[in-house]
C-alpha cells in the first residue's frame, strides 16, 4: 500500500529541512573528480611553474588525494573537451604547458593579390585563357 502524507506535514518537513545549516567542511565528502576540479587552478599553476604531471600526482598524494597519473590526465581531457576552461586555459592531451599549441600564422596576401587573381596570371605577366592550366 502506498504511503500518503498531508500537504501540511510535507510543508513542515520542507521548512525544517530548508532551515538546516550547511554541513561542516570537515564532514562533507567529495568525489575524486570533484576534488581535482576544485584543485585544477592550483594544479595548472604547478604545471606552469615547471612541475611535471608525475610530480603533481606525487604532491597530491602527499596531501591525501590518491590520484594516478592516468586519472589526472583523463580529468583534464574531459574538462577541455567540455569547454569548461575555468581559469581561462585549456588542457591539451600530451602538452606540458610549455607550448601553446597555436598554429603558425600565414602571411597576409599582398595588396590586391589573391589566389584567384594569381592563378589567372601567367609567369611572364600575360593573361591566360579562362579554364587553361
Q: Categorise residue 125: left if φ over 0, alpha if ψ from -120 to 50, beta otherwise.
A: left
In a domain, 103, yes or no: no
Residue 120 in any domain: the answer is no
- Cα of first residue to Cα of last residue in the chain, in angstroms, is 85
Return mean pLDDT, the chain: 72
The per-residue pLDDT for 129 is: 54
pLDDT at residue 31 tops 60:
yes
Residue 122 within a domain: no
The percentage of the chain sitting over the pLDDT mark of 70, rounded to a whole number, equals 57
What's the pLDDT band for 61 if we cut at 50, 70, 90? Answer: very high
Q: Which three cell numbers stand for residue 6?
A: 498531508
Decide if 1 is inside a domain. no
Question: Is residue 34 in some structural domain?
Answer: yes
**How confident is the model over 4-16, as pLDDT tens digits?**
999 999 999 999 9
C-alpha distance from residue 127 to each of 94, 112, 120, 123, 131 (Å) = 50, 16, 6, 9, 12
Q: Is residue 79 part of a domain?
A: yes
Which range of residues forms the domain containing residue 44?
A: 28-84
Residue 57 lies in a domain: yes
Which pLDDT score, from 0 to 100, does residue 83 have? 57
Q: Is residue 4 part of a domain?
A: no
Question: How many structural domains comprise the chain?
Answer: 1
Chain segment 79-121, per-residue pLDDT in tens: 666 654 444 343 333 333 333 333 333 334 444 443 343 444 4
Amino acid at each position: 500500500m502506498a504511503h500518503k502524507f498531508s500537504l501540511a506535514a510535507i510543508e513542515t518537513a520542507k521548512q525544517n529541512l530548508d532551515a538546516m545549516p550547511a554541513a561542516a567542511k570537515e564532514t562533507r565528502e567529495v568525489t575524486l573528480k570533484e576534488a581535482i576540479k576544485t584543485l585544477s587552478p592550483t594544479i595548472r599553476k604547478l604545471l606552469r611553474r615547471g612541475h611535471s604531471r608525475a610530480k603533481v600526482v606525487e604532491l597530491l598524494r602527499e596531501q591525501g588525494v590518491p590520484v594516478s597519473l592516468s586519472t589526472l590526465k583523463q580529468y583534464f581531457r574531459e574538462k577541455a573537451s567540455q569547454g569548461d576552461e575555468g581559469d581561462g586555459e585549456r588542457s591539451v592531451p600530451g602538452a606540458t604547458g610549455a607550448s601553446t599549441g597555436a598554429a603558425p600564422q600565414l602571411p597576409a596576401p599582398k595588396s590586391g593579390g589573391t589566389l584567384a587573381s594569381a592563378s589567372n596570371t601567367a609567369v611572364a605577366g600575360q593573361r591566360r585563357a579562362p579554364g587553361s592550366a
